[in-house]
């Protein structure tokens, strides 16, 4: 590829990454990789001035502008900072500042670079009048209503020497504790997890419902004051004044006088940033004197008087304590690395899944090995390798178990499958309690009060071994259990009573039929109409149901002929559960989506993802989980996944927004 073609390719690639980062909040590459591509493009464009293009990625900053918010032009552009990734590069910037100031003495302020979403607040007469996102640097979204819900942002300032009108810039943040709680809740509800606190904060700030924003407990830290009438001549003094006025200003901001001070500041925070309650991805260094900032000026995209230092992605090396093997609801045995505790991305990591026997063998883990661990997508801890230089000679390799760690039954492995399975499904404790817990979960029968611990307690007291046993429980039996009282017992009995109204498709999902998840349960229910009919069908008839392949069909057929499963179903029928499709669902609402295969991606304002799935099916459409040439279109909300977006572009699949989709249904 010649240099001109490389310029065109880089522009296309950087535009795609800009969109992923600022609009979709779903970056595919690291900041460092992005900056290296940008630097390559800058160098090539300088070498080929004939290729100048005002719309090149080098001539703009990224955008987070959203539909649904008023766009406001910034009084002063919100430029990005030049990024560095090594102490040497920071030292080079320091030398350029020294040269630019002609040898004049200067001070540097060192600050944390918080990993949130940028915000600009405007105050008049000590009162907040507007909050605007960074947007494309020239204009942003007016999110004042949402920002007012953030309790660390002052709506009215403390008495002080604040200017009559000024702008202050900072970061909207989601603390690690709130982020972890939010993702636990989303995981329980089987909703897509936020990749990191920045995505969560950005997504929350763009939510159309301020009440929902308030629930998320966002925080804010401020780092830059702008006005024609600033009270002091230095950045540090102005930020200390802002602190007195009621703003949350970083307590980690320091005055640095020498290059050595700067390097020591980097060294300190490279280690201690992990102890902070919020996410950070680097440091920012600014010339402290506003006069000197003015003398140094700006490049086309960034100030010469400031630079950002980016930390490398967080990972750690910690020692393996032991590998445990855990049997799940469907009998799959998973190896788990139990580690010496290590702080990583704001949380203490003690465990990391090794997934299956093949991955464990590929890593070649030995007893007491030192393992490299990092957060996959900054959420799920994963083992990325072994530090063999620290391996103790003679320590044996960790081997996958041959028998179930819970019941001792020899494990089986299906041809072409990496998983090891315990076949003792009706005698293996975690499989039994897992099925009970699954049956009671919110998206299945929604029986409040029965989670993992209660399911295990009911099994241990020999009260429940199958889901049908739940409907024989009495208040007296429940009240006698540890940590239970009359109120807890009544809550469970009320949940059991309400579960008799749960629709047929969710009953199918609750039964733990192999390979039958939520979507498949809906398709099967719609096709078979009733449990009686489902039990009569042959493998061939089951396989004729849309998207039910031979493996799923065989699994359903065998399950419905298993004596234990059959008895459980008959008892659930007798208990009054819904064993046929609701008549309203048998009647199709319309045919406007007839023959269309639709993928849902992102988050929505008017309906939940589940509601949209039901709307699609009610109008004759088919929900599919992945994009292919057969996909009719993608129903896209906010934060559409970058991989899906790229595949749509590659295959030419239309992307339909939420409002457009609803209009489509109204015009049927």
Catalytic residues: 113
Instruction: Report the 10 Å Cβ neighbour count for 367.
Output: 15
Residues in Cβ contact with 608 at an 8 Å cutoff, skipping those fewer than 6 apart: none
Asked if 223 and 111 count as a contact pair (C-beta separation under 8 A), the reply is yes
Q: Tell which residue, 567, 660, 566, 646, has the closest CA to residue 612.
A: 660
What SS3 class is residue 483? coil
| Cα dihedral value 61, 67, 70, 75, nearest 10 | 0
Asked if 119 and 133 count as a contact pair (C-beta separation under 8 A), the reply is yes
* Strands laid side by side in the 655-657 sheet: 622-623, 597-601, 633-636, 655-657
Asked if 169 and 118 count as a contact pair (C-beta separation under 8 A), the reply is yes
Q: Which residues pair with 352 in a beta bridge?
A: 337
Residue 316 sits at φ, ψ, to 5 deg, of -155, 160
User: Using alpha carbons only, what angle is made at residue 441 by residues 174 and 403, rounded to the nearest 5 degrees?
Assistant: 100
Taking CB atoms within 8 Å and a gap of at least 24, the contacts of 133-136 are: 133/64, 133/65, 133/205, 134/61, 134/64, 134/78, 135/63, 135/64, 135/65, 135/71, 135/74, 135/78, 136/60, 136/61, 136/62, 136/63, 136/65
| Cα dihedral value 333, 338, 344, 345, nearest 10 | 30
Helices 31-47 and 3-22, axial angle in degrees (round to 10): 140
CA distance readout (Å), 372 to 315, 339, 344? 7, 11, 11
Asked if 627 and 634 count as a contact pair (C-beta separation under 8 A), the reply is yes
């Amino acid at each position: 590829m010649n240099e001109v073609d490389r310029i065109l390719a880089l522009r296309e690639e950087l535009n795609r990454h800009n969109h992923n980062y600022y609009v979709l909040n779903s970056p595919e590459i690291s900041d460092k990789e992005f900056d290296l591509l940008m630097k390559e493009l800058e160098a090539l464009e300088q070498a080929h001035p004939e290729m100048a293009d005002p719309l090149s990625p080098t001539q703009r900053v990224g955008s987070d502008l959203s539909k649904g918010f008023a766009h406001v032009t910034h009084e002063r552009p919100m430029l990005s900072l030049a990024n560095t990734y090594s102490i040497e590069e920071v030292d080079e910037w320091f030398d350029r500042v020294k040269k630019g100031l002609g040898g004049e003495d200067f001070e540097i302020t060192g600050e944390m670079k918080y990993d949130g979403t940028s915000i600009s607040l405007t105050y008049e007469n000590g009162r907040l009048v507007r909050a605007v996102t960074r947007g494309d640097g020239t204009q942003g979204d007016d999110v004042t209503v949402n920002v007012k819900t953030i309790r660390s942002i002052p709506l009215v300032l403390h008495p002080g020497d604040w200017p009559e009108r000024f702008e202050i810039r900072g970061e909207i943040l989601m603390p690690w504790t709130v982020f972890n709680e939010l993702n636990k809740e989303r995981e329980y509800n089987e909703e897509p997890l936020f990749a990191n606190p920045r995505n969560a904060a950005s997504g929350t700030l763009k939510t159309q419902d301020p009440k929902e924003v308030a629930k998320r407990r966002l925080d804010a830290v401020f780092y830059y004051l702008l006005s024609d009438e600033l009270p002091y001549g230095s950045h540090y003094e102005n930020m200390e004044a802002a602190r007195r006025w009621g703003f949350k200003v970083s307590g980690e901001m320091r005055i640095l006088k020498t290059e050595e001070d700067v390097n020591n500041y980097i060294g300190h925070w490279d280690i201690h940033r992990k102890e902070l309650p919020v996410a950070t991805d680097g440091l920012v260094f600014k010339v402290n004197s506003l006069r000197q900032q003015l003398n140094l000026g700006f490049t086309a995209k960034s100030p010469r008087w400031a630079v950002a230092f980016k930390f490398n992605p967080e990972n750690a090396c910690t020692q393996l304590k032991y590998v445990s093997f855990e049997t799940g609801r469907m009998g799959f045995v998973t190896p788990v690395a139990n580690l010496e505790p290590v702080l990583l991305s704001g949380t203490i990591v003690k465990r990391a899944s090794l997934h299956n026997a093949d991955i464990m063998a590929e890593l070649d883990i030995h007893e007491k090995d030192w393992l490299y661990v990092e957060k996959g997508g900054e959420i799920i801890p994963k083992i990325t390798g072994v530090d063999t230089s620290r391996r103790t000679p003679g320590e044996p390799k960790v081997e996958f178990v041959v028998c179930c760690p819970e019941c001792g039954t020899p494990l089986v492995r299906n041809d072409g499958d990496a998983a090891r399975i315990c076949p003792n499904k009706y005698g293996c404790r975690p499989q039994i309690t897992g099925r009970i817990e699954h049956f009671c979960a919110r998206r299945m029968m929604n029986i409040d009060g029965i989670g993992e611990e209660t399911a295990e307690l009911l099994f241990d007291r020999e009260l429940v071994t199958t889901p049908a046993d739940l409907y024989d429980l009495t208040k007296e039996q429940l009240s006698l259990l540890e940590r239970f009282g009359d109120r807890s017992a009544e809550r469970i009995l009320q949940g059991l009573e309400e579960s008799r109204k749960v629709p047929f498709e969710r009953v199918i999902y609750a039964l733990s039929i192999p390979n039958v998840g939520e979507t498949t349960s809906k398709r099967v229910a719609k096709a078979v109409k009733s449990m009686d009919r489902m039990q009569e069908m042959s493998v061939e008839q089951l396989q004729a149901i849309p998207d039910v392949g031979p493996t799923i069909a065989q699994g359903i057929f065998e399950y419905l002929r298993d004596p234990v499963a059959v008895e459980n179903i008959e008892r659930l029928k007798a208990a009054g559960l819904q064993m046929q499709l609701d008549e309203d669902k048998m009647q199709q609402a319309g045919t406007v989506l007839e023959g269309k295969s639709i993928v849902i991606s992102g988050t929505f304002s008017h309906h939940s993802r589940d509601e949209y799935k039901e709307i699609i099916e009610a109008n004759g459409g088919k929900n599919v989980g992945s994009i292919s040439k057969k996909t009719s279109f993608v129903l896209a909300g906010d934060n559409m996944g970058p991989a899906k977006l790229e595949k749509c572009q590659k295959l030419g699949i239309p992307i339909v927004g939420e409002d457009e989709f609803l209009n489509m249904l109204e015009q049927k």
